[in-house]
Structure 1
Amino acid sequence: MTDSATPQDTAAPAEGPVLPEGTHGPAVAEAGPAVAETGPAVGEPAATATEGGERTALRARRRRAAVRWGAAVVVCALAGTGTALAVTAQERTDLPGLATPKDGRYTFPALVLPQLPSGQPAPRENKGRHTADLRSLLLPVPTEAGGPLVPAAALSAPAPGGSGSASPSAPGSASASPAGTPSASATAPAGTALPGRVPCEAITADWKDPGALRALLLQKACRDAAVREWTAADGTRTQIRLLSFGSQAEAWPMFDSLRRTGEPKDSSGGVQTGDTQGWDTVFGVDLATREVPGAPPATRIAFLSAGNVTGVITMTNPKGVPTAAFRQVVTLQSDLLA
């Protein structure tokens, strides 16, 4: 019975069909994923090196940017400091575009308060009574006048032909200069300083009603008078008169009369009260102004009352008195009297 199947022959078909030689498709396909899975592990060192290089380059760029910005800050700081030093080292008027345009104001020397007699208090501590030489309270001449400035020694020297203070010739009378001595306002040329004393009655010649002023001077016993005049390059003539009395109570009536009715003798169109709103007022000094109508006025007058001293400032110019110059002169004169 050779045709019967053996157990081995029976089990052989269970092994599956025999593939042709050289055909390994399933085996290769199954091996593919395994090879693909090992790819990342093999390439990991190269990726890490690339990322490290990028971080190093980024840090280098940041360092270079920090250096550039730091250098820019230092340069800007040095440039700003140099510019600030260059600007502050010069006078404001020397810088282009910053110079104050000319508005008619004058250039005065530095104002110096007068020296008080030994043992005498300042006006604010003496009920407003000024004891300094009246001439030293006059505003100095500006450089625009072209006249010589009066040295301090000349202001403190006694008046020629008299003592340091002019006294009335009789009780209740006005002071007068020595006989035969011409007043400073009549002898000094325009554009020069007038440091001398003048008679108190000299002020009456400037007003339309001299009789009333003369009577008031006698009644209140004017003790001293001083005047200064100059003519600036623009043709503006300035006259400053100071009248000294025994007390503020005696000086106030003169100030009050002038501010209400004072009218220059050469004014044909009358005068009107000036506007003082917006002025820089000076503590201890009362101010009133009058002016001849015009635009700008050809005559401006300021009346000052500071303790026992009454001041009159008159500025005239046929072309008009500059407002800035008028305010400047009045304010600076007030400062000296305060």
Structure 2
Amino acid sequence: MTEQTLTQPEAPASAQVQAQTPAPAPEKPKKSRRPLLWGIARWTAAVLVLGGVGAGTAMGITALERTDVPGLATESDGRWDYPKLALPALPEGALRPFTDGNDGEIHHADLRQLLLPAPKGATVDPKLKGGWVGLDTYLAHFHADDRVAVKEALSESALRHVAARGWTTPDGTSTRVYLMRFSSVAFAEAFKDDVLDTGTRGSRLPAGVDGETVDSSLKDVRLSFLSLYSFDERKPYGPEQTRWAYIQAGDTLGLVVQSRKGEALTVPFQQTVALQAQLLS
């Protein structure tokens, strides 16, 4: 746009006359508020910009997982990452073991489907892949000089099936899970009482274990109708420690065994036993 020169219009006569008479002293001009208002506006804009940046940062943090925020990551409590668990379907007309109408507390589901799956990252034992296993595979859990007695007890207890799964996690923990189904609750309990018999050696020990102590880490695990019997290898032990627990669940007896170089950790043992027990409940 071209610059234009503005000229004031000629004043009227009355205005000229008034101009010839002395005019009163002009009032002191008031200080303009425009600079002040402009400064306030600038600071307000700055605050809004900073506030927007701060809000955006806060929203970004709350949108992240806790472990993604630097300085806020929490260490794992030691639990393993198991797949989502679900009870298998039952044959038509069959009942869960501890429901009204199933007085025999019988597990009608396929025993192999009641085995706890291996956690994420574990290497499955090719000999214990979750299928049926022979009696000798189960007997290998015990000391060699106990196997004959255990086998005789099983022959008197009407054992029907044994299913097993084993795995090793990256931290070196070896886990074996055995499920044994008997012809009745009475037979299952009779065998459990036999292997837990408090004789000169205490309960029949796993191979390589020379002494035991009662494990109290499962005392807070409460599952209706089930009983847990948990043990630790007593110190001093060799290069690795073993923990094991029996789960009495109606016509089925479960055994969970964990061994690890140095020390068998408490948290994964608790977790594994509790989850396997839930699948049998």
Call closer, same or farther: CA 1:317–1:308 in 2, change over 3 Å: same
Establish whether residue 286 from structure 1 lines up as the match of residue 261 from structure 2.
no
Shift of 1:235: 4.5
The question of whether the paired residues in 2 share the 8 Å contact of 1:191 and 1:232 is answered with: no
TM-score, normalised on structure 1? 0.58
C-alpha distance in 2 between matches for 1:191 and 1:326: 22
Call closer, same or farther: CA 1:95–1:73 in 2, change over 3 Å: closer
The question of whether the paired residues in 1 share the 8 Å contact of 2:215 and 2:231 is answered with: yes
The residue type equivalent to 1:270 in the other structure is G
Deviation string, structure 1 residues 145-178 (Cα, Å, up to 9, x no partner)? 434xxxxxxxxxxxxxxxxxxxxxxxxxxxxxxx
Give the stretch that moved more between structures: 125-134 or 209-218: 209-218
Identity %: 29
User: Which of 123, 131, 136 is residue 146 of structure 1 equivalent to?
Assistant: 123
Establish whether residue 221 from structure 1 lines up as the match of residue 162 from structure 2.
no
The question of whether the paired residues in 1 share the 8 Å contact of 2:168 and 2:175 is answered with: yes
C-alpha distance in 1 between matches for 2:149 and 2:128: 29
Establish whether residue 117 from structure 1 lines up as the match of residue 84 from structure 2.
no
Q: Which residue of 1 aligns with 2:263?
A: 320
C-alpha distance in 1 between matches for 2:209 and 2:51: 71
C-alpha distance in 2 between matches for 1:69 and 1:109: 49
User: Which of 195, 217, 238 is residue 175 of structure 2 equivalent to?
Assistant: 238
Q: What pairs with 1:10-49 in structure 2 (closer than 5 Å)?
A: 46=27, 49=29
C-alpha distance in 2 between matches for 1:74 and 1:233: 45
Shift of 1:302: 0.8
Shift of 1:227: 1.7
C-alpha distance in 2 between matches for 1:94 and 1:58: 45
Call closer, same or farther: CA 1:61–1:137 in 2, change over 3 Å: same
The question of whether the paired residues in 2 share the 8 Å contact of 1:255 and 1:304 is answered with: no
Shift of 1:136: 0.8
Unaligned runs of 5+ in 2: 1-23
Q: Which residue of 1 aligns with 2:13?
A: none
Shift of 1:271: 1.8
CA-based RMSD of the aligned residues comes to: 3.6
Q: What pairs with 1:50-199 in structure 2 (closer than 5 Å)?
A: 50=30, 53-54=32-33, 58-85=36-63, 87-88=64-65, 98=73, 100=75, 103=78, 106-125=80-99, 126=102, 128-147=105-124, 190-191=125-126, 193-199=128-134
The residue type equivalent to 2:57 in the other structure is A
User: Which of 234, 248, 253 is residue 305 of structure 1 equivalent to?
Assistant: 248
C-alpha distance in 2 between matches for 1:320 and 1:73: 52
Q: Which residue of 2 aligns with 1:264?
A: 205
Larger RCO, structure (CA 8 Å, separation 6 or more): 2
Shift of 1:270: 2.2
Q: Pick the structure with more strand per residue.
A: 2
Partner SS for 1:50: coil
Partner SS for 1:46: coil
Unaligned runs of 5+ in 1: 1-41, 148-189
Q: Which residue of 2 aligns with 1:11?
A: none
The question of whether the paired residues in 2 share the 8 Å contact of 1:290 and 1:301 is answered with: yes
C-alpha distance in 2 between matches for 1:231 and 1:237: 4
C-alpha distance in 2 between matches for 1:256 and 1:133: 25
User: Which of 202, 206, 214 is residue 273 of structure 1 equivalent to?
Assistant: 214
Q: Pick the structure with more helix per residue.
A: 1
